[in-house]
Amino acid sequence: MKIAKEIVIRELKEWAQSIAVALVLTLIIRTYVIQAFKIPSGSMRPTLIEGDKLFVNKYLYRFEPPKRGDIIVFRYPKDLKKDFIKRLVAFEGETVEIRDGKIYVDGKKLDSPETFGKFYYYNHDPYGNPDEKIKVPQGAFFVLGDNSANSQDSRFWGFVPKKNMVGKAIFRWWPLNKLGTLK
């Protein structure tokens, strides 16, 4: 009886240790490496649809700078408890203009990546008036949703501070028929 009790106790300790290690690893990975996100709105249609689930790489930008056109997740500047997802358009010091449905950065029309050339972008107050050039301040980004008509983005609330960056959306894992890397 005593031997059986010792075996059970030893087995429970092993299970508890394994579970504790798994929890610690999960917390570390989720905090610093990769995190799952669910798309809550249609602001990135047709690229991302409500209910799509993605993985966001949280460490990539520690080793390489973000690129124009990256789909990024960031803490919403007006409420840091909310995460938003948008496409990165312009960097600090650059000038953005939305004219005739196209985006211009420092006077050059964006066609690359091709996403910028295939969507129509609408102007909006206060950071996207027609014929207005907006300079991105130091330490910030200008972001837009692909579904410009239905996206709360930098045109509405301004710029994303670099410190609010969470990471780059890299992989859609749901729905299964759209499984794959994001471009």
Report the percent of the chain where pLDDT is more than 70. Answer: 96
> What residue ranges do the domains of the chain occupy?
1-32, 33-181
pLDDT in tens, 111-137: 877 788 888 999 887 877 777 899 999
Which of 164, 182, 9, 10 is CA-nearest to residue 77? 164
pTM over 0.75: yes
Find out whether 167 and 56 touch, Cβ atoms under 8 Å: yes
Instruction: Report DSSP letters for 163-180, one per residue.
Output: GGEEEEEEEEEESGGG-E
CA nearest neighbour of 44 among 109, 94, 95, 119: 119
Q: What is the pLDDT of residues 82-102, one digit of tens each?
A: 999 999 999 999 999 999 899
Instruction: Give the up-direction half-sphere exposure of residue 115: CA atoms within 13 A in the CB hemisphere.
Output: 21
- Please tell me the distance from the alpha carbon of residue 144 to that of residue 158, in angstroms, as a whole number: 10
Domain 33-181 = CATH 3.30.450.80: no
List active site positions. Answer: 43, 86
